[in-house]
A and B are shown apart, each in its own frame.
Chain A
Amino acid sequence: NAGVTQTPKFQVLKTGQSMTLQCAQDMNHNSMYWYRQDPGMGLRLIYYSASEGTTDKGEVPNGYNVSRLNKREFSLRLESAAPSQTSVYFCASRLTGPNEKLFFGSGTQLSVL
């Protein structure tokens, strides 16, 4: 019962490098989300995908792109990493219905030097 799986758990990049954060869920949820969390701060929504084939911007989308590859997978890409993108990134999927809730992955700690 894996739930939401994120890879990698840790990553260090140099300014200008690119990388993709992977996320997969095995709960057959339609909606998936990417958040970032800076130290001592709350969660900020980067992008979300309401269903396979659709994506939309959240609060802080600049500098990121996403791909909803299929129902299970939702990836977040940094094309040219900047130090301001140093953060912990969380992926989540959403159980919809009368008792909807989000299920989170364990996070990716990203440092951009």
Chain B
Amino acid sequence: GESVGLHLPTLSVQEGDNSIINCAYSNSASDYFIWYKQESGKGPQFIIDIRSNMDKRQGQRVTVLLNKTVKHLSLQIAATQPGDSAVYFCAPPCLYNFNKFYFGSGTKLNVKP
């Protein structure tokens, strides 16, 4: 199954700087990855996804990079804003039961004004 960490590390950045949030996964057969954003008091919301046949995908101010060799995902946020303060989760589905949907260890992003 998946290995996921549960304790949330924290990343503090200055407003206007770029943020990089990292996620490691253990399931080498995962072919689809999603990043979610969870604001305080709310449920997680979809931000961006990437398939394993891609190395990079860009959205509005966000870019996701996938390194399959080392099983690593990163989410880059350009010109970080106070509204970006949230917990960010990556999600690869479980190989052994495609219906299970485990989340990777989240990262709390604090944006300092």
**Interface check B103, CB cutoff 8 A:** yes
* A43 B8 Cβ-Cβ under 8 A: no
**Interface check A86, CB cutoff 8 A:** no
For residues 10 through 48 of chain B, which have their beta carbon under 8 Å from a beta carbon of chain A?
32, 34, 36, 41-46
* A58 B6 Cβ-Cβ under 8 A: no
**Interface check B84, CB cutoff 8 A:** no
For residues 1 through 52 of chain A, which have their beta carbon under 8 Å from a beta carbon of chain B?
4, 31, 33, 35, 40-45, 48, 50
Contacts A48-B99, A99-B49 given: A41-B7 contact, CB under 8 Å? yes
| Bound complex: CA A80 to CA B64 (Å) | 43
Contacts A48-B100, A56-B99 given: A42-B44 contact, CB under 8 Å? no
Q: Which residue from B32, B36, B99 sits with its C-beta under 8 Å from A50? A: B99
**Cβ–Cβ < 8 Å partners of A48 in chain B:** 99-101
Q: Which residue from A45, A56, A90 sits with its C-beta under 8 Å from B43? A: A90
* B44 A43 Cβ-Cβ under 8 A: yes
Residues of A within 8 A of B (CB-CB), count: 27
Interface on chain A toward B: helix, strand, loop, or mixed SS? strand
Q: Which residue from B32, B46, B97, B105 sits with its C-beta under 8 Å from A42? A: B105
For residues 33 through 78 of chain A, which have their beta carbon under 8 Å from a beta carbon of chain B?
33, 35, 40-45, 48, 50, 56, 58-59
| Bound complex: CA A56 to CA B99 (Å) | 10
**Interface check A106, CB cutoff 8 A:** yes
**Cβ–Cβ < 8 Å partners of B105 in chain A:** 42
| Bound complex: CA A92 to CA B46 (Å) | 12
| Bound complex: CA A35 to CA B42 (Å) | 13
* B7 A45 Cβ-Cβ under 8 A: no
Contacts A41-B7, A41-B8, A43-B89 aside, 12 further interface pairs with beta carbons under 8 A come to A40-B7, A42-B104, A45-B102, A48-B101, A56-B99, A56-B100, A58-B100, A90-B44, A101-B49, A102-B101, A104-B44, A105-B43
